[in-house]
Chain A
């Protein structure tokens, strides 16, 4: 313990003395410009301290206390207590000076005339050092099985989630208590507004008037979650449990919608099923079926969400279905169960965590989805679009946005609790260290044909939509003038080779920015997400449920709210990040982290604890166990987390719309602008290029990570 704490103390002091404490102006530290030009490095905390910023001594107090503890105390417990105290003291003082002395001056007029800019690299290192001194102390007290790595990991994730989820959210949620006449804050109006019929009216159910957005959202989310989970399961069963020939194709097809930029699916659906859509017109001409506008409303949004979110359910479920141990199924069959009974009483219950997680993810995705309801919603108002328009509408009402956000969070909390109830506390471990060389039971014929019957038409439908999208990018005016042209691609991606290579197409800038930001955020998301999953499944610590829920929060909050909250929280010291690339990376990491967490939990629940125990018993610590035993078995989960966060970083719209800046524009923001202007050709051309890029990247990731080897033959039992 002393050694670990001492090491962190040293790192902290180096950061304090050498690294620039503040982030330096334009181009700031966070814009990475300092790497190219180190002269831009500002003074370190130590230098600033001697220049009269005496309040920067705050972290030094913590370091001094920790140093004294290490030097003077001999008893284990005393050292631990001392470290906890000094780490906490240092962090608190540092936080206090950051929150009290702002860019325009001190908050309460003391110390007068003092001002400082946002914290930079030095502050980051110092804060991390103090945090880890604190957590090392906590582990010394015997918490977290006395493992410094575990308590450090918990501490780091709590700190990150606190800073990048709770801190910004507080800025928005506090406005839910704002009084309408602008006289301040109070509880008086909160409850009546939260439960107002404007939000909760169910009038449309009985055939009169409008339904509140909350009711619409819940109905839609339930329908989407149920549909995508079943469809995802059908795909997963076909891929893992049958000898279907075109499995690879099915896999690719089911992945396509997830890598499609928003609006594009909605657009394709309109061109097929809208009142003047190809299929609608065809049906009218052949069968005389009336041309209606059924697509604009619940059914259209549901259809597009089914197309968009089935892949997520599939990604979560495939790892789970693959992992169900053949031994169990074989045991069941040895005991004379038929294939249906085996599926119903052995395989199905073992898939519960996967099903529950897939359902939860789809439910939340549907609640927070913004692009599909915007294009196809018609008069079907849902919470996410209502929140967006209460912030950017003709009358901006942040209080209403906050109240709607609270409603959304409440709905998510309810489903989260129900899901936990259903999964229960049973043991789902089926990947164990024991010899396990059986083959998975084949599906019984009825189930197999049901899966085929559901999944294959759906796959064909998806394929048709994508064929149409590619077609749309090569024609002059989709829907009217179908003469072949390259014009859209040339406008977006023109390259001039004259005195070197010049990327003159209008899309290049945002294309490069998008790719490198997604490329940075994806691995970070996977690391943070899987580390959290590891803690949740394998470790016991106080307030675990609250911790689990807090990691899910950022996913449920609509992107618009996150975007505005980030601008409000991170535009001013102590943490000033707006207008930089870092803020985009951070927003993606913390928004997509829950997918890593959910996928990781689902996969890790299947790994038998005896594997860890064997490793620990052989003398490995928990970090080595994680790296050498668990990680290699988590291939599919890592891949899912990486793929998903990479793709989401490229395709998300609502969160980034406030955060993109002139220097760092994202592809989706560009596409939205073009769609708004009715330039579908160039939007679809750009979207097609993005789809191809993402496919290539996903394949590359798949190659790099490889498949996990369970030492089971991949064959399915012959029928």
Chain B
């Protein structure tokens, strides 16, 4: 007993010495890659003098948390991650307009702000694409895919991996893209045909790309900027922009409603949409497309001019009703249709 008390006392004492820091700080929750989160926080602190406490969480986790904390938020700003949850948060009145000037941003970033009454401002775009492992393709003597329709070829049976749209925003973007490209009935037919080739529906959207990189599967679907990162790390992969055209996600920044640090939060928003701040992403391997036209980009990164893009309808496909309906249909017509699923 006495020893236990001593142990806790020592631990407590150690704790105080670490947690002695105080003062008002801006609480930022970040849904980008950790290194990018850290770098932005560090640069912001240096450039503006405002102290930042930063934590990284996935978009679904952030949305669940700000819903639970509504009315008494412990987070001030939410930066990064796919745009859909930002739009949902805006629609549910969990975030508030920052009033920051967005006029110098690219069109899609301003669109996002307009659609949400300035609550969510676009910070980057990520394009949807395919990736395949060149070694495995050569070994199995397969033709690499070039289009969405190629994925339905019987020769790819058991070779394709994609995330589960019920758990991953990436996969939902893919589902919505195919529906917008081919029409709803035709899109689901194609999805079911591709479904027959799928070996695994992963939980996380970036998992298929990683599995391809390590040769665990042959072909994967995901966001191209993640794939560029894998390629730069040295994996034997090739990235494909589907020939029919592709969809995209818009990452955003939002100020949480009821924040006690509104002034500092505005500064953060202003900062992350500035050209200098966005250019820094290249230092840590961020290859998505920044929303400020003045920001630097990497020559290997996908750019919007060279890829055929669909006119992604956020208003329809971001709404809860469409989402629920499409996902129920996916459950019935794609997932339960089976295929090469091994349990």
Q: Which of B100-108, B110-118, B160-168 contacts A (4 or more CB under 8 A)?
A: B160-168
Q: Which of B58-66, B142-150, B240-248, B308-316 contacts A (4 or more CB under 8 A)?
A: B58-66
Q: Which residue of A lies closest to B342 (CB)?
A: A297
CB B342 to nearest CB in A, in angstroms, measures 6
The interface bits of chain B over 314-334 (1 if a CB of A lies within 8 angstroms of the residue's CB, else 0) are 000000100110010000000
Whether A393 touches B18, Cβ cut-off 8 Å, given contacts A103-B72, A523-B8, A567-B68, is: no
Task: Tell yes or no: B200 within 8 A of A by CB.
Answer: yes
Task: Tell yes or no: B180 within 8 A of A by CB.
Answer: no
Q: Are A662 and B69 in contact (CB under 8 A)?
A: no
Q: Choose one: B12, B29, B343; the contact of A298 (CB below 8 Å).
A: B343
Q: Are B8 and A520 in contact (CB under 8 A)?
A: yes
Q: Which residue of B lies closest to A705 (CB)?
A: B3
Greatest chain B CB density within 10 A among A209, A395, A477 is at: A395
The interface residues of chain B, by DSSP majority, are classed as: mixed
Task: Tell yes or no: B303 within 8 A of A by CB.
Answer: no
Within 219-266 of B, Cβ neighbours of A (below 8 Å) are at: 226, 229-230, 233-235, 260
Is the interface on chain A under 10, 10 to 19, 20 to 34, or 35 or more residues? 35 or more
Task: Tell yes or no: A36 within 8 A of B by CB.
Answer: yes
Q: Which residues of A contact B55 (CB under 8 A)?
A: 660-662, 665, 669
| A-B contact number at CB 8 A | 216
Task: Tell yes or no: B138 within 8 A of A by CB.
Answer: no
Task: Tell yes or no: B194 within 8 A of A by CB.
Answer: no
**With A and B bound together, what is the CA distance between A704 and B2 in angstroms?**
11
Task: Tell yes or no: B45 within 8 A of A by CB.
Answer: no
Q: Which residue of A lies closest to B60 (CB)?
A: A392
Task: Tell yes or no: B48 within 8 A of A by CB.
Answer: no
Task: Tell yes or no: A674 within 8 A of B by CB.
Answer: yes
Q: Are A571 and B69 in contact (CB under 8 A)?
A: yes
Task: Tell yes or no: B20 within 8 A of A by CB.
Answer: yes
Q: Which residue of B lies closest to A572 (CB)?
A: B72
Q: Which residue of B lies closest to A26 (CB)?
A: B24
Q: Which residues of B contact A343 (CB under 8 A)?
A: none
Whether A379 touches B234, Cβ cut-off 8 Å, given contacts A276-B215, A513-B18, is: no
Q: Which residues of B contact A293 (CB under 8 A)?
A: 199-200, 216-217, 342
Within 321-335 of A, Cβ neighbours of B (below 8 Å) are at: none
Task: Tell yes or no: A336 within 8 A of B by CB.
Answer: no
**With A and B bound together, what is the CA distance between A506 and B41 in angstroms?**
12
Q: Which residues of A contact B306 (CB under 8 A)?
A: none
**With A and B bound together, what is the CA distance between A604 and B170 in angstroms?**
52
The interface bits of chain B over 197-210 (1 if a CB of A lies within 8 angstroms of the residue's CB, else 0) are 00111111010001
Q: Are A393 and B235 in contact (CB under 8 A)?
A: no
Q: Which residues of B contact A673 (CB under 8 A)?
A: 33-34, 56
Q: Which residue of A lies closest to B229 (CB)?
A: A678
Mark A residues whose CB is within 8 Å of B.
26-27, 31-33, 35-37, 103-104, 204, 209-211, 270-271, 274-276, 293-294, 296-298, 374, 377-380, 385, 389, 391-396, 477, 479-481, 506, 512-513, 515-517, 519-520, 522-524, 526-527, 564, 567-568, 571-572, 576, 578-579, 581, 627, 631, 638, 642, 657-658, 660-663, 665, 669-670, 673-674, 676-679, 701, 704-705
Which 7 pairs between the two chains have the least Cβ-Cβ distance? A392-B60, A519-B11, A662-B53, A276-B215, A579-B74, A516-B15, A389-B167
A sample of 15 more A-B contacts (CB under 8 A), given A389-B166, A393-B167, A564-B68, is: A33-B19, A293-B217, A294-B342, A379-B200, A379-B342, A477-B235, A520-B15, A522-B11, A523-B11, A571-B69, A658-B61, A662-B54, A673-B33, A678-B213, A704-B3
